[in-house]
Structure 1
Amino acid sequence: MYSRAEKSAIRKKFWTTFGLYMKPIKNAQGKRISWQNYKSRVKDIYFRMEAERGYASISIDISHSDLELQELYFDQFKALKKILENSTQESWEWALHTQNNNGQTLSRIYKRREGVNVMEEETWPEIISFLKPRIIALDEFWDNVKPGFEDF
């Protein structure tokens, strides 16, 4: 078992390693960004990456407090599903009005990789290999479709 401080230090080391690995890669607009803290720059839309015990995931989280507006955002993403699949070269899972770990209702479009553990440094290359191409592809996708969400 790890203490809380040890878990925090391991996670911090992983995300620092991920950040260093991704640092030379520029975004779709040719700019340097912090990939591990990717910002959508649109209120209530978040791009999240997780590396935990047992899984890694990447997601687009829609967290608008008005569930009807949240569903409208979700439907707008659904209309762009083919573009997302072309950018990422795979299909993703779609969950309307699900709960996050804090009990907040959100809608999520995500991809998850089972069988990896951020606490085991030997699985880090597998986690990074999962997250890297997907966050780059999401950035390309978002660069193309973001204007449609800015006026929402």
Structure 2
Amino acid sequence: MYGKAEAAQLRQAFWTTFGQYMAPVPSAEGETINWINYRTGLKHVQLRMRTEGRRATIGLELVHPDADIRALHFEQLQALSNMLPPVPGQSWDWQPDAEENGQPMSRVQQQLDGVSPLNREDWPALISFFKPRLLALDEFWSQARYPLEDLM
């Protein structure tokens, strides 16, 4: 068991390592990008990578406070789902009505169980999980953002 400070240091070390690993990789549009703090450019649309407990998730989250608008945006994303590159061995989980920390949202995500940034031996598995999915979501978002932008 780790103390709070040591756990925070390990989490920070993981994200720093992952950010350094991804730094030389250009975005789908060929630009330099801060992968850890990925900016979608649209309010209420977030690309999130999380590690909580013994689970890692990555996905696009629609967090508009108006449920009807959020549903419309989610339908638009689903209509464009054929542009989302597949990741071998796992399909994308489309969740029209999800919740995270009490915040209602819609999201498309993938999840990896049994890993933690607090265990350095899990870091290769975490990086191998996040990298292809982050690149797939970036490629998808580089095309899908424009139709969604028209709805905003």
Structure 2 CA distance, aligned partners of 1:129 and 1:21?
11
Percentage of pairs with the same residue:
41
Shift, 1:51, TM fit: 2.1
Q: Is the 8 A contact 1:98 1:105 kept in 2?
A: yes
1:151 counterpart = 2:150: yes
Q: Is the 8 A contact 2:19 2:35 kept in 1?
A: yes
Structure 1 CA distance, aligned partners of 2:140 and 2:66?
25
Name the counterpart of 1:34.
Answer: 34
Secondary structure, aligned partner of 2:136: helix
Query: CA RMSD, aligned part only?
Result: 1.1
Name the counterpart of 1:131.
Answer: 130
TM-score (norm 2): 0.93
Q: Is the 8 A contact 2:62 2:107 kept in 1?
A: yes
Q: Report the count of equivalent residues.
A: 149
Shift, 1:88, TM fit: 2.9
- Give runs of ≥4 in structure 1 deviating > 6 Å: none
Q: Is the 8 A contact 2:95 2:107 kept in 1?
A: yes
Name the counterpart of 1:63.
Answer: 63
Shift, 1:66, TM fit: 0.2
Q: 1:84-132 CA deviation, whole Å, 9 max, x = no partner?
A: 1xx13452111122210x2011111110011111110011000000000
Name the counterpart of 1:115.
Answer: 114
TM-score (norm 1): 0.93
Q: Is the 8 A contact 1:88 1:138 kept in 2?
A: no
Stretches of structure 2 that go unaligned for 5 or more consecutive residues are none
Q: Is the 8 A contact 1:93 1:109 kept in 2?
A: yes
Structure 1 CA distance, aligned partners of 2:142 and 2:125?
26
Shift, 1:61, TM fit: 0.6
Structure 2 CA distance, aligned partners of 1:26 and 1:82?
23
Q: Is the 8 A contact 2:77 2:144 kept in 1?
A: no
